[in-house]
Amino acid sequence: MPSRINVTDFNLTATLECGQAFRWRHDADGWFTGVVAKRVLRLRQTGNALEGDVDRHYLALDVSLRKIVATFPPDPALRDAVERHWGLRVLRQEPWETLASFIASSTKQIVQIRQIVELLAKRFGEPIGAARAFPSAEAIARTTLADLRACKLGFRAAYLHAAARRVADGQLDLAALRTMEYERAREELLKLHGVGEKIANCVLLFSCGHNEAFPVDVWMKRALQRVKRRTDFGPYAGWAQQYLFHAERHP
């Protein structure tokens, strides 16, 4: 049921537009509409009021942002990023969709990734009213490379198809990544063709609860040039990374 709750230390826009999720649309009236698993959600924030289909777990509203930020190193660039985008939180997403989306993300801009993800959902996802869920690994495994290339995946089509087959066949248990130690979970993902350090860390951070995962792409390489302490960002390194990443894209 739609609800209205008071939230503190939360920024809906920064959270949904910082490059960690690709199925949210910001309407002119201030509402965000997105597809999460097999649900269509609508959310809007006005001050400290959050209204709509509030999923506290998905939005990570059940954790103290102040306690998380207190673990960050005292770096001026990081402190500035946190102050400018205070309230950004790391979402808890579904692992398969996250893996597939970031495989599709290689060498692509965020707007292009959103287009690819929407095409995959429209062509292969289950209907949810007028929308479509993101297709399961089994659905992608049943497609052809030509089908996937038609979704603007290009060379990434082969990587996505291979990953879908491994997940569908049970060779890769994505749910198990949550309970593995970070290094082992990362090694499991790196076995997939087309999955490098950046994609693996995105999956572990955004969907598997490994808050220490630290994705690095060209934006982060630029951001890290201004950070003095580059090796130890603490147990919530991934959250620090998201602040730096978002600040780099929105100076």
CATH fold group of domain 95-207: Endonuclease III; domain 1 (1.10.340)
Q: What is the architecture, at CATH level 2, of domain 64-83+209-251?
A: Orthogonal Bundle (1.10)
The CA distance from 88 to 16, in Å, is 8
Residue 251: pLDDT band with limits 50, 70, 90: confident
β-strand 49-52 against 127-128: which pairing, if any? unpaired
Question: Could you tell me which residues are beta bridge partners of residue 5?
Answer: 50
Residue 230: pLDDT band with limits 50, 70, 90: low
Please tell me which residue, 210 or 28, carries the higher pLDDT value.
210
CB 243 within 8 Å of CB 77: no
Every domain of the chain with CATH number 3.30.310.260 lies at 3-62
In the structure encoding, which two tokens stand for residue 190, read together?
A: 């790196």
- CA 2 vs CA 41, 42, 53, 54: distances in Å: 9, 9, 5, 7
- pLDDT, one tens digit per residue, over 97-154 is 999 999 999 888 899 999 999 999 999 999 999 999 999 999 999 999 999 999 999 9
Q: What is the architecture, at CATH level 2, of domain 3-62?
A: 2-Layer Sandwich (3.30)
In the structure encoding, which two tokens stand for residue 144, read together?
A: 């052809």
- The pTM assigned to this predicted structure is 0.96
- CA 16 vs CA 32, 184, 189: distances in Å: 9, 29, 25
Note the pLDDT of residue 235: 97
In the structure encoding, which two tokens stand for residue 153, read together?
A: 């995946």
Smallest CA-to-CA distance from 250 within 6, 9, 14, 2 is with 14
Give the helix/strand (H/E) hosting 52: strand 49-52
